[in-house]
Structure formats: C-alpha cells, structure tokens
Chains A and B, each alone.
Chain A
C-alpha cells in the first residue's frame, strides 16, 4: 500500500462523505425540529433517484439539470407526507416513539412496493450524462467528476441551509419551533405549517443527493435501505438534531469507510462505520456535537 493509494482513497472518501452528510442533513433537520426519525428516509432518496432517471429517460434532461427539479418535487412530497401521516403520528398519546417508527417504516414499505409495482425490480442507470464516467486529476489524485460535483452541491446546500436558518423569517420560526413548539403558537406561528415546511426542506435536501447519486449509482427499489442506515449512523454520530453534526458526521463516515475498504475486504467496509459509531456513542452517548 503506497502513500498515493492512501491519499487517493481518503480523497474519494471525503467526497463520498460530503454526499453522506447531504443525505443525512435532512434527517437531522427533521429530528431537530420535532424529535422524529424518518424511517422512510432511504425511500425518499430512492424516489429522488427514480425521478432523475425518468426525467433523463423520457425527456432527456441531464441529471445535473434535474437537481433543482427533483429537489422541488421532493419538497412537495415531504410536506405531503407530514400532512398525511406524520402529523397524526406525533399526536399519539400512547407509545409515541413506536408509532413514529412504525408509521414511517410502514411508509417505507409502501414506497418500496410501489416502486416495484410501477418501475419493476430491475436495476436501472443513467446511461450517459454530461458528468458520468469523467475524472479529473488533481496533483496526481484522480477524482470522479460526479462525486466532485456532489461534494460541491453538498457544501453549497450546507451553506445555504445555514444562511436560511439564521437569516430568514422562516428559519427563525423553525428555530423557535424547535426550541419550544408550545410557545410559538402563542405568538401566532402555525406549528403545523412550520413542521410541514421542515419536512419539505428535509425531503428537498435528500432530493438533491438523489439527483446527484443517480449519475453514478444503480437505481432499484431497495437502493435506499443501505444508504438509510448510513444516514442514521451519520446523524447519530454527529448528534441528533445538529445540522453541523450531520455535516461533520458525513465527512467522518466517508473517511472511515474509505479507510476500512483499504484494510478489510470490500464487503466489510460498512463494519468500520458501524464500529466507529458504537465507539463514539459509548464515549459520548449523545454523539459528537449533540448537547449533553
């Protein structure tokens, strides 16, 4: 193993890690807002990938162009899911935690079934796109262009989200609602509207990731499941509810995955991520950046 291979895989790990962070940040946002874990998060990613694929297959829209379209579509989808399902799940008085887990998990199963029904279990891919298959070389390190663009989109999205939460009225309403959902009602903020927008925003973020990932990943009904578990680990590693934690968690997860792949057979590369998660929470039970 030369220094070059190590730097090479750490660089790709970093790029992939930013994308993991982008997948996870929507989850973190929703959790921070209302203490709910969306167990259908992976399926949100899956439909974003399919949407990108079909825009490409039917209208020849390049995945790069569909990024904003898919994000907007997922925004609407997320808000609708909140209004139709999650709104009722959070109202449950008995077993609230289990109701949230199982209603969103039920949604995940339905979405997977619908994807199988309408799109068949076949593997699909975007056969040719502007970015697909291209690499650039930086100081002797080869970086795949799609992942590079994904990383740029992720950094931009994190920056935009930061400004959005800190500089806009809605962002302030979001922050206020996560601080004290009861008190905001008194000053005339409609809690339901804020939650719906939060879900829309969370889904839009995973929509961004899905559109990018469609460039270099196979698309099939179960594709979300493996990424969802990584997303939960990413969020928990950073500390539930911390948007910055999701960003940092994503980078750590990407680097750990790349390092593990160097040391262990490829089929075991996820073990490194899981082991680091356990190590972190055993030492800091609320994650790296979660409030203790």
Chain B
C-alpha cells in the first residue's frame, strides 16, 4: 500500500471521527423537535445509502429493490416484538441475518443478469415481497402493524418522550455503515469489488471470484439496510407494506449516493446531508397544500444535479480523492 493512500485513509478516519463528535453534540444545543427529527432521518438515510453503495456503488450491481431488505428488517423486528414480545435488539439482528441470507439466495440466480435486466429483476423481486406482505393477514396485511409502547428504555428500544436516543442510535448506525465501508474499501473484498465493477471478465481472468464477491457485497449491504429498517420501525412505531417496502424507498436509498457520488466513501453521507433536509423542507413548506409543488421542486433538483454533476457532488470537495477512490 503506497503512502499517499495510507495517508488518505488515515485522514478519512480522523475527519469521520471529528464529524461524528460534532454531530453528537449538535442535538444538545438544537432542541427543536422538528429539526431533531430531520437529523435522525438524515443520519438514517445516510446510513442506508452508505449500505446500498456497497453493493451498487463499489460492486457495480445496481439494485433498485433494497426496500425489500429494509422492509424485512422492519417486519422481523415488529412481528417478533408484537407477537412474541422479543426485544427489538434481537429482531434487529434476526432481521439482518434473514435479509443477508435472502440477499444471497436471490443473488444466486440474479447475479447472472446484466445491466437493465438486473435492475428490473431487483425492482420486481421487491415488488413481489411488497404484494406478499400486503396479503399476509398474520403480518397485518395492508393495514400494517402498530407497535405498542411498552416502556421508555434502551432495553426495549422505545423512547416515547424524546428524540435524542433515536438520534444517537441513528448516528451510531451511520458511523458503523461508514466504518464498514471504510474498512472494506481497503480489504481484499474492496479491491475485488472495484475489479468486478470495472471489468468482470478481466477480474475473473486475474483470479477474482466474481460471483462470491458479489454475494459478499449483497450480504453486507442487505444486513445493514435491514438494521436500518428495524430502527425505522421502532422510530415511527407504525409500519405498513407500502411505507416500508414501496419502490420509492429503494430510490430514496440510491439517491443520496448518486447525488453525493456513487462508489465513493463520502458520497452517500454528503448526499444525505443535502438531500434529506431538502426533502423534508420542501415537503413541509410546499407539500402541505397536497398539491405536488414539493414533488416538482424535488424532481427538478434530481434532474439538475444528475445532469450537471454525473460524478456526484463529492467531486466539488476532493481534489485527489476521486482518483484514489476509483
């Protein structure tokens, strides 16, 4: 490993620690619940997008069906908690494991598909999941599941009185997702993924096990997204198929990475920090009328940013990073 690269990685880690520390003290000064809520969502979508980026950005397998794993995480946690009283922490772990296993089971046939065929397969699989949950009476069908409040503690992962604990969990989740990406970037896996993304045939000929490395990326990515889904279920305490497994969630996961810089370490977080507050603000200032002005502004921005900066906004910040990140 050359010194410039090692230096960059050390700097990334220091910057991340500083940013996390700053983020950790912000809510102590910002008491406004609306803003705190927005910060929780920003961190959560940042974490989700960071996880999506592992499979789609680094490994190049563009998935628009990650809502499936988000929903599986949320449903596992909510069902275990409401039906059997199992603590959300176990639900979180269980949801993550189930999602990772399903991601690998689905990857087995899907990773043979190229380009748009793969993208559409991911959309279609998530849509099948949505329809099945829609019709599954035991899991609440279309009505969804209301998660009853049974306490105010870290043990039960319920905090009806304050947003702060949610904030710190979301921050921790974002840090974990970032750190996993940072760590994998320089592992054997990270190099394999970039090789697979750039040229699968060449990678294969150089001894990279293309299929296995895609499976690894899918499992890690799905696990983290499912943990995010579990968190979300506890955070909003009401889930229904459409709101946790709908196609728009898959897009919301991809968007921050795309806007920030797909396949880069910092892109998803940067994208989330810009995009999520923007979404929330346009929704609350312009969406109230129910007349779609927020959609117009939001969609317009997506077009403008994706056309103006196809490599992502991260390119505005870094000088050498873009090269190194490839």
Residues of chain B with a CB closer than 8 A to A285's CB: 112-114, 117
- Asked if residues A286 and B303 are in contact (CB atoms below 8 Å), the reply is no
In the complex, chain A residues 142-196 whose Cβ is within 8 Å of any chain B Cβ: none
A287 to B118 alpha-carbon distance, docked (Å) = 12
- Asked if residues A120 and B115 are in contact (CB atoms below 8 Å), the reply is no
A109 to B297 alpha-carbon distance, docked (Å) = 9
In the complex, chain A residues 239-292 whose Cβ is within 8 Å of any chain B Cβ: 240, 265, 267-268, 270-271, 274-275, 277-278, 281-282, 285-287
Q: Determine if A11 is an interface residue (Cβ-Cβ < 8 Å).
A: no
From A44-52, A60-68, A89-97, A197-205, the one touching the partner chain is A89-97
A-B CB contacts (within 8 Å), total count? 140
- Asked if residues B124 and A106 are in contact (CB atoms below 8 Å), the reply is no
Given contacts A99-B306, A121-B290, A265-B135, contact A110 B124 (CB under 8 A): no
- Asked if residues A85 and B303 are in contact (CB atoms below 8 Å), the reply is yes
A98 to B111 alpha-carbon distance, docked (Å) = 18
Residues of chain A with a CB closer than 8 A to B125's CB: 274, 278
Shortest Cβ distance from A225 into B: residue: B247
Q: Determine if B67 is an interface residue (Cβ-Cβ < 8 Å).
A: no
Residues of chain B with a CB closer than 8 A to A233's CB: 120, 124
Residues of chain A with a CB closer than 8 A to B62's CB: 97-98, 101
**A31 → chain B, closest Cβ, in Å?**
8
Q: Is the interface of A mostly helix, strand, loop or mixed?
A: helix
- Asked if residues A98 and B258 are in contact (CB atoms below 8 Å), the reply is yes
- Asked if residues B127 and A270 are in contact (CB atoms below 8 Å), the reply is yes
Shortest Cβ distance from B257 into A: residue: A98
Q: Determine if B292 is an interface residue (Cβ-Cβ < 8 Å).
A: yes
- Asked if residues A236 and B262 are in contact (CB atoms below 8 Å), the reply is no
In the complex, chain B residues 294-316 whose Cβ is within 8 Å of any chain A Cβ: 294-304, 306-307, 310-312
- Pick the residue among A97, A102, A115 that contacts B115 (CB under 8 A): A97
- Asked if residues A98 and B306 are in contact (CB atoms below 8 Å), the reply is yes
0/1 string, B273-291, CB within 8 A of A gives 1: 0000000000000000011
24 A-B pairs with CB atoms under 8 Å apart are: A85-B307, A89-B306, A93-B310, A95-B262, A95-B312, A97-B115, A102-B258, A106-B303, A106-B306, A109-B296, A109-B299, A110-B303, A111-B299, A113-B294, A113-B296, A117-B296, A221-B292, A225-B247, A229-B123, A236-B116, A236-B120, A270-B131, A281-B113, A286-B117
B: residues with CB less than 8 A from A are 62, 64, 109, 112-117, 119-121, 123-125, 127-128, 131-132, 134-135, 247, 251, 254-255, 258, 262, 290-304, 306-307, 310-312
Which 5 pairs between the two chains have the least Cβ-Cβ distance? A113-B295, A116-B292, A109-B299, A106-B302, A110-B299
